[in-house]
Amino acid sequence: MSNALSIFNQLRPVTVGYDNVFDHFEKMFEDNFFNSPSVNYPPYNIVKTGENTYDIEVALAGYNKKDISIEFAESLLTIKSVKKDNSETKDEDGNVIHQGISKRFFSKTFTVADDTEVKGAELKDGLLKVSLERIIPEAKKPRQIEIR
């Protein structure tokens, strides 16, 4: 058992309702998530745009809407390419001059908190922006407890 798992086991007795969070992190460690080589393509930013709003920005130069699939299921947001474009830049004789922009296959998955909703996505100027919002239910908002 790794140190991380023992930390989670030490935290379980002093927390309530976080079992799914600990289970998620334990699975990441079991899958060797932190020791596997990281895939850097496509590059992305996660931007906090407001108190409870976020954008995931993914650089996708050369891709259009038909080339990209976005799926959200069971707290996982997956952005991936769906087809490879075989078109090339050619001169008048049909020869490739230079092909520096490639449309590689990719799949990037983000874990999204249970209280966060995906609000939409936009592809503009080679940048895919997926907007998310954390919805805080009334029961979780701070409130004053009256003492009797």
- For a pLDDT cut of 90, what percent of the chain falls above it? 38
Q: Residues 59, 12: one domain?
A: no
Q: Name the residue range of residue 4's domain.
A: 1-38
Q: Are 53 and 134 in contact (CB under 8 A)?
A: yes
Q: Residues 34, 24: one domain?
A: yes
**Could you read off the pLDDT of 67-125 as tens digits, one per residue?**
999 999 988 899 999 865 455 556 666 677 777 666 778 899 998 988 899 999 999 99
- What's residue 87's pLDDT? 54
Give long-range contacts, CB 8 A cutoff, 24+ apart: 15-22: 20/114
Q: Residues 67, 140: one domain?
A: yes
- What's the total number of domains in the chain? 2
Cα separation, 67 vs 58, in Å, equals: 14
* Per-residue pLDDT at 1 exceeds 50: no
Q: Residues 142, 70: one domain?
A: yes
Q: What is the pTM of this model?
A: 0.64
Q: Residues 31, 66: one domain?
A: no
* Per-residue pLDDT at 10 exceeds 60: yes
Residue with tokens 């954008």: 55
Cα separation, 102 vs 104, in Å, equals: 6
Cα separation, 128 vs 64, in Å, equals: 10
DSSP assignments along 72-136, one per residue: EETTEEEEEE--------B-TTS-B----------EEEEE--TTEEEEEEEEETTEEEEEEEE--
Q: Residues 33, 44: one domain?
A: no
Burial of 130 (0-12, 13-18, 19+ CB in 10 A): buried
Q: For position 56, which CATH number holds? A: 2.60.40.790
Q: Residues 2, 43: one domain?
A: no
Q: Residues 64, 85: one domain?
A: yes
Q: Residues 89, 26: one domain?
A: no
Whether cis (ω within 30° of 0) applies to the bond prior to 42 is: yes
